[in-house]
A = this chain, B = another copy of it.
């Protein structure tokens, strides 16, 4: 017998509908059975006749019942045996929080509750221009009718924002491109996903640096690409001969600041990489993820700027300057690939919210961007210098520092060859979190097993001296 809960948020007719539907599915009412008359059921349940009628009408609409003139409502002849099994649901216990960080994709992991966390990728909580963003959001959403807020927008991204990006690329990287070559993307992974489809959709063979950015590799893996590792650690000749042996249609590199080693790709290698792409009808994806942060001179010439053969795809991001929480990156495509994009993705809908784009456009237009970049550069340079001076003081002579000339992380290598896991565990025992580098390698017998990674974008300046002092105690006493 159905009990109608009159205090429920679910309307009475819907409660009755769900109960009767369940009874039909479970065979309580078999095919051909006539359901109780409206009046009778209404009386039995103490509800209005209209309510019963609404429930029956929905059952008719959905095909559970038919209504026959003179003979009332009859259960249709349906085979519900496929529904026999009871449905499996994930435990409704508290949902597990699965941050990228937990999965080593942050790229670098959970802090295990450590007080001193040299996490890479995230930024300090006070680094986002919240007040400006609030004000610009209010501006973007003011007025009576805002077509941008209620429509699908340009599939390449707002033209005004792309113009600002093109101008910034010219000023900061000497990159000459038209806004028409720029496609906004919802992060590096989405961009790579699309590039695989665009360039390599049948061959599925990608070359990438080893070690290299694991979140990029995982996109290629998920697309079933064969991945040719190109060693960055066997000198130029090792790199170039591996590249020559590869038939990949795509090469993924981080030439300005190799991730995670921090090496700069030497000019002869840059030229060879471009030549390789041009000769093999392949494309180079240049992930220029943190060219703004360069502590020795200015950022090196980008491959995109160097290339005149139109075989370089430039990939930029707002994750490092502004925030990874924005999920905003962009591709600069060679003209031929712009055409190909139009052919391959004729119905592409931009995955980037209009509001994010419009607020960032205003952020440029009102002159906030340049000021913010300058301040971020200054802040990170100070933090970089502080970190390195602490490392020199506390660990100098016993650890090698790699990759300190640019970016937002360094590698520390134990001269006595202590393995990274031992370093990580000892640090953790002193309430400091440092990170492994093994996940970046395809070559499992790699030569940097004594190196750990320390990011410095998410740790406060005040924490650095004590954090590094603790590392000395953890590692050297």
Contact = CB atoms under 8 A, between A and B. Distances in A.
B146 A128 contact: yes
A308 B83 contact: yes
A296 B61 contact: yes
A130 B139 CA distance: 10
Contacts of A83: 271, 274, 306-309
Interface stretch (A43-51, A186-194, A281-289): A186-194
Given A100-B350, A278-B82, A180 B149 contact: no
A160 B225 CA distance: 35
A155 interface: yes
A310 B87 contact: yes
Interface in A120-140: 121-128, 130-131, 133-134, 137-138
Contact of A130 (B142, B178, B309): B142
A205 B133 CA distance: 45
Interface string A66-101: 000000000010111011111111111101111111
Given A123-B151, A325-B151, A349 B189 contact: yes
A162 interface: yes
Looking at chain A, what size class is its interface with the partner chain?
A: 35 or more
A98 B62 contact: no
Main secondary structure, interface of A, reads loop
A214 B324 contact: no
A331 to B, nearest CB: 13
A347 interface: yes
A394 interface: no
A156 B98 contact: yes
A334 interface: yes
A88 B324 contact: no
Interface in A299-344: 300-301, 306-310, 323-328, 334-335, 338, 342, 344
6 shortest interchain CB distances as A-B pairs: A63-B267, A125-B145, A186-B351, A105-B347, A90-B178, A325-B354
Given A10-B171, A83-B271, A97-B159, 16 more contacts: A57-B297, A62-B301, A82-B278, A84-B308, A95-B162, A99-B151, A100-B152, A105-B346, A105-B349, A123-B151, A128-B141, A152-B324, A187-B351, A190-B351, A197-B222, A222-B345
